[in-house]
A and B are shown apart, each in its own frame.
Chain A
Amino acid sequence: MSNNPSIVIVDYGVGNIHSLANAIRYLGYKKIRISDQEQHIREADALILPGVGAFGESVRNLRKSMLHLILGEAVLIQKKPILGICVGMQMLAEGSEENGWHEGLSWIPGKVKKLVLPATFSVPQVGWNNVFIQQNDPLFTRTSENPNFYFDHSYHFETSPEYRMAWCDFGIEVTAAVYRDNIFGVQFHPEKSQSSGLKLFRGFLNAV
């Protein structure tokens, strides 16, 4: 490991942050904080925005603790790299139609929509799927050519190709990863995707 960045996993009351912290710790990073404190976020070198559950609930929790403003300053002004995971990635969009329209952070143009699939496919997409990479730097610099990741979602991020980093084939082209400047997001769960997931974290944190 070449650097030792201080990493904040943004805690806004969603479950299973434990396994995310475990994965980062396993890679040897020592300065990991699970926090919602402004000061910690201000001091961080890299941010990870996890997410499990419904979009509306997640955004509400984020706003309730003013994290949308704190993160906005850290990411848009201080230009700290951030990685959104699953719903954390979807929140980077303008909004989502999950259970009615909810506004997102609007950091990456695009909207989160329900998966509409051909007849032989069923929602949600749960399981291992391989992704096709359009832009490999920095998330996919260390993974194999078509790495497998663990997906678990019913809605997906519709965006223009310039912001799409990778996609997967689930009857339609489903956005698997998005990016814009220092902002990154992945639809799958790297913390549950074994060595491919660990390699993705390494790629992200090495670029910090």
Chain B
Amino acid sequence: MLKKRIIANLVVKNGIVVQSIGFKRYLPVGKPGIAIEFLNQWGIDEIILTDISASPEGRGPDLNMIREATNKCFVPLTIGGGISNIEQIKELMQCGADKISLNRSVLIKPELISAAAHIFGNQCVVVSIDGIQTPNGYRVYDYINKTATEKDPGGLAHFAEELGAGEIFIHSVDRDGSYTGYDFALIKGVCNLVSIPVIASGGAKNAEHIHAVFNETNASAASAANFFHFSEHSVIITKAQLAKKIDVRLETHACYSDSLVDDSMRLLKKEDQALEHLLYTRITKEII
């Protein structure tokens, strides 16, 4: 059976991975290549890298940055930001991307989605939608003009599927960087109207939040950005917690299956007895 996927979303601004808070504030985290190398070693299932400064600056994808970043990526990689034509998608594929993510295109240039799906296959095209809560219900957010549009996220996702999108990435603007959990109603609204896989994004703080989104919605993948960056082995620890309840892939050499964590995914101290036992446990190195 297919596993539920845990995806890391790297938000890149001016060549640096940043922590994004509410689409307004950005805190620097580090270089994309290093983040990818670590997430990969920590057993992430997929990585999405979104260059949020490309479209606002009116430029295409930063191929040099992407080429450097992909050298040690042995999981499927999706690249987004600044993609406006087929030629750029070809170049990205040659740089090591497996899929591309289109956000603005679905609003202003839907023919790019069908063209990309036709040439590279549906599985290659992820359509990313930013949803925001308004007095009239959920609406698609236009991050360039910083306004809510008239479009309904579910309706737009359905439109994208008809054009040939292989997956929908739905991100909550309200929950972005908030650490308050996923926006179930927004995600459900999209899941109900499409039959392709949906990636839930925005607001995750810990394994509980990820477990909840799989419980409450039909999302086939959960994405998190910020909380994966700030602690060692964050992905393994998260997956070890999830594996107790749902089917996720957990085959890293390091294993945290008997560890307990607090609300912010910090490891709690083990019992004295367990620590004493560790003193005499030989831990071998993984040989590939």
Interface set of A (CB-CB < 8 Å, partner B): 15-16, 18-19, 22-23, 26-27, 53, 122, 124-130, 142, 144, 147-148, 150, 152, 169-170, 189, 191-199, 202
B164 within 8 A of A: no
B70 to chain A, nearest CB (A): 7
Interface size class on chain B is 35 or more
A126 touches B249 (CB 8 A): no
* Dominant SS among interface residues on chain A: mixed
Complex contacts, A192 vs chain B, CB 8 Å: 74-76, 98
Complex contacts, B1 vs chain A, CB 8 Å: 129, 169-170
User: CA–CA, A144 to B90, complex, Å?
Assistant: 36
* Dominant SS among interface residues on chain B: loop
B253 touches A129 (CB 8 A): no
A19 touches B252 (CB 8 A): no
A16 touches B96 (CB 8 A): yes
Complex contacts, B72 vs chain A, CB 8 Å: 22, 26
User: CA–CA, A142 to B253, complex, Å?
Assistant: 13
B96 touches A126 (CB 8 A): no
B121 within 8 A of A: yes
A194 touches B43 (CB 8 A): yes
User: CA–CA, A130 to B5, complex, Å?
Assistant: 13
In the complex, which residues 248-287 of chain B have their Cβ closer than 8 Å to any Cβ of chain A?
Answer: 249, 251-253, 286
Closest to A193 in B: B74
B94 touches A199 (CB 8 A): no
Name, among B74, B94, B288, the residue most crowded by chain A CB atoms within 10 Å (CB to CB): B74
User: CA–CA, A148 to B1, complex, Å?
Assistant: 10
User: CA–CA, A11 to B91, complex, Å?
Assistant: 17
B2 within 8 A of A: yes
Complex contacts, A148 vs chain B, CB 8 Å: 3, 249, 251
Closest to B288 in A: A198
Name the contact of B253 in the complex, choosing from A22, A150, A195 (C-beta under 8 A): A195
Complex contacts, A197 vs chain B, CB 8 Å: 74
Complex contacts, B166 vs chain A, CB 8 Å: 126
B71 within 8 A of A: yes
B2 touches A128 (CB 8 A): yes
Closest to A54 in B: B121
B123 within 8 A of A: yes
B195 within 8 A of A: yes
Name the contact of B96 in the complex, choosing from A18, A144, A198 (C-beta under 8 A): A18
